[in-house]
Amino acid sequence: MSSGHSNDDGEEQSLFSAMTSYQTRGKAYTGFLNLLTLGAVLLIAFPLFWMFSTALRPDAALYTTPSSLIPETVSFEQFRTLFTNTDFPTYLLNSIILAAGVVGLTTTAATLGGYGLTRIDIPHKKFFARTIIFGYMFPPILLAIPMFIFWRKLGMINSYPGLILAVTATSLPFSLWMMWKFFQTVPKSLEESAMMAGAPRFRAFYEIALPMAKPGMIAVAVFSYAIAWNAYTLPTVLMSDSSKWPLTVGIQAFLQTDAISWGALMAANAIAVIPSFLFVFFLQKYLLRGFRAGGVK
């Protein structure tokens, strides 16, 4: 009897030791991942922190050594210089026009196209919808020269509509594919019930499918905004008139002057990133829902 009890006690102790060792390894692994994540966050956040810190320093404090991480004197001198002595307001307005045009055009086209591919019987529509995503594989630098030749023949060089259409062409393939996937999650029976009650298809789309597709539309809007706001190659090739440059091209021109104003340059970049932060921050709930429903894991 005592021998049996001893064997049982030994097995329990071995099992307890194994569980303790497993939990210890799990905690160590979790701690390592947390440290790795923290290091990645600091690596990404520090340049942004330094950008804002530099933008809030007066000119006299930019070249002092050693330089403190937090400015001793907070000054908006760089922002005043940016808006009064440079063409930054023009660049900012151009970026807003470009982003608004691309977001509106891409969201509208992707929503209508995705709905049509999902609800209307089109021969080989699945093959067509899956082929669309290949259009997103071509980088802007590959499309820039053909677009320049084609746009020049149409007389759309140095024009807002020409640039908006060009950037929309780079954001639409993925957006259309995402809305096609999203509308597959919208119940078709609700629209059929409305049409059986006498509603035309467009009304069923506008009053039933469209409100349910709101997360997908917001995801497309955020995606197309990011493409438009960060567009550089196509504006550089298609817009030779500096008065029509967006922020990406205009800020880069600050580096081509004889005397680089690093404070104004950091202030320009700080203003350029703020809309993106706000856009994603307030719409992140819909953005995640749209990407999940659209099949983006």
Instruction: Express each pLDDT in 130-153 by its tens digit.
Output: 787 777 788 888 888 899 999 999
Residue 245 gets the label, from left (phi > 0), alpha (psi -120 to 50) or beta, of: beta
The mean per-residue pLDDT over the stretch 5-11 comes to 54
Task: CATH number for 86-293: choose from 1.10.3720.10, 3.40.50.300, 3.20.20.60, 3.40.1440.10.
Answer: 1.10.3720.10
pLDDT of residue 296: 45
Helices (H) and strands (E) in the chain, counts: 13, 0
pLDDT at 297: 42
Structure confidence by residue, pLDDT tens digits, 52-102: 888 888 877 777 777 778 888 888 888 988 888 888 999 999 999 999 999
Instruction: Round to whole Å and give the CA distance between 34 and 221.
Output: 32
Per the document, the length of the chain is 297
pLDDT, position 284: 72
Where does residue 245 rank: exposed (0-12), middle (13-18), buried (19+ CB within 10 A)? buried
Half-sphere exposure (Cβ direction) of 210: Cα atoms closer than 13 Å:
13
Q: Considering just the CA atoms, what is the radius of gyration of the chain in Å?
A: 27
Q: What percent of the chain has pLDDT over 90?
A: 27
- Asked if residue 219 has pLDDT above 80, the reply is yes
Q: Is 201 a residue whose pLDDT tops 70?
A: yes
Sign of the CA dihedral with 147 first, then 153, 159, and 161 last: negative
| Nearest CA-CA partner of 174 in 117, 140, 118, 134 | 134
What is the rounded average pLDDT of the residues 97-111?
95
Give the pLDDT confidence of 236-289 residue by residue, as tens digits: 999 988 899 999 999 888 777 666 778 888 899 999 998 888 877 887 776 666
> When comparing pLDDT for 116 and 103, which is higher?
103
Q: What percentage of the chain's residues is helix, strand, coil (to nearest 5)?
A: 80, 0, 20
Which structure tokens are listed for 24? 């210890």
- Percent of the chain, pLDDT > 70? 86
pLDDT reported for residue 263:
82
pTM above 0.75, yes or no: yes
Q: How far is CA 92 from its chain centroid? A: 18
